[in-house]
Amino acid sequence: MQQYETYMRKCFELAQKGYGKTSPNPMVGCVIINDDGGIISEGFHSECGKAHAERDALLKVSPADCNGATLIVNLEPCSHYGKTPPCADLIIEYGIKKVVIAMRDVNPIVAGNGIAKLKKAGIEVLEGILENEAKKLNEIFITNMTEHRTFVALKTATTLDGKIAAHTGDSKWITSEKARAEVKHIRQGYDAILTSSSTVLADNPTMAHKNKIILDRTLKTDFENANIYRAGNIYVFHDEALKTNKKYPNIRFLPCPVKNKKLDIEFILKTAYDFGIMSLLAECGGVLNGSLIDYTDKVYHFIAPKILSDNRGKSAFAGKTIDFIKDTTNFRFVEIKTFEPDILLTYYRLK
């Protein structure tokens, strides 16, 4: 069992090579070993539409190389025809004698059917090896499949006393270059980034990404010159009462219902999902953070060893009035990383 855990961790490493490229598919890695534990082949799902991890690994060698071998993979092999043929069929064809799996596929099209097909062919199947780690790796895919919605993450960077900017709006730079480089890496793992008109006006960020969602209720940002609009597919949500004749090749203007003078977050998230945006990373100010927090699955919270000591400073989460601690939104800490001199605290909302 310990041996299989070691190879499963190798599968996780391989799967990560597809980080940010496989959506809406999961990240999957595969290792094929012989009876002595020697690695025969490795593979991973590099991007949506290309070979799945098992197929990638198997097609690098011949059936003769794999006869009687063990295949280890972090997700149940598929059993259906999609953009690629069924991996379960190829595993059977190659004479694999044993398949070790971290977790079953939550896609209802598969959902145990791949395992059933393997067992019917006489292949031994071992399940549940590092299952929790496998679920964390593909938390976005699992949310999409089981809850039929976009996975929402939020990134913020604060001082020790929870401020994202001075009262003047100055925020450059709270965190270090190392921390900001990690933010760029985190962005790559999400289908889109989301921000507000207030952030666009205050910081004029570029936020390099293929898909960007801007919440601009009154259409007050500079669509001609603001850095954020220069590249990428842009979705601008605005008050449905406003009409606009603005036309740009990369910007789509989307009328949105307004509640209490704020754009309807549920409408925005549903629309994003309908457009095929399976995950988004919000990078915005305290007011929008406060509006999003009850819809957020995961928070990346960078903390710099600085104290502003000014109650006029802008807080990371704002916009609510809470009278009792019992009414707070609660989270679960999962990880702390260091990016000298800052730390990254990752936590999930309790549901």
Domain ranges, ordered by start, for the chain: 2-139, 149-349
5, 42, 47, 54: which is the annotated catalytic residue? 54
Q: Name the average pLDDT for the chain.
A: 93
Report residue 83's pLDDT band, with 50, 70 and 90 as the boundaries. Answer: low
Q: Which two tokens stand for residue 131?
A: 């299952």
Asked if omega into 341 is within 30° of 0 (cis), the reply is yes
Report residue 82's pLDDT band, with 50, 70 and 90 as the boundaries. Answer: low
Stated as kind and residue range, the H or E segment containing 238 is strand 233-239
pLDDT (average), residues 12-29: 96
pTM of the model: 0.92
Asked if omega into 173 is within 30° of 0 (cis), the reply is yes
Residues contacting residue 184 through CB under 8 Å, at least 6 positions apart? 208
Residue 147 among the catalytic residues: no
Percent of the chain residues topping a pLDDT of 70: 98
Q: Which two tokens stand for residue 4?
A: 């299989």
Q: Tell me if domain 2-139 and domain 149-349 are identical in fold.
A: no
Does the domain made of 2-139 have the CATH classification 3.40.140.10?
Answer: yes
Question: Would you say 238 and 216 are in contact if contact means Cβ atoms under 8 Å apart?
Answer: yes
Output the pLDDT for position 321.
83
Output the pLDDT for position 110.
79
Output the pLDDT for position 108.
79
Percent of the chain residues topping a pLDDT of 90: 78
Please state which CATH class domain 149-349 belongs to: alpha beta
170-185 pLDDT tens trace:
777 889 999 999 999 9
Q: Which two tokens stand for residue 12?
A: 């996780």
280-320 pLDDT tens trace:
999 998 899 999 999 999 999 999 999 988 888 888 888 77
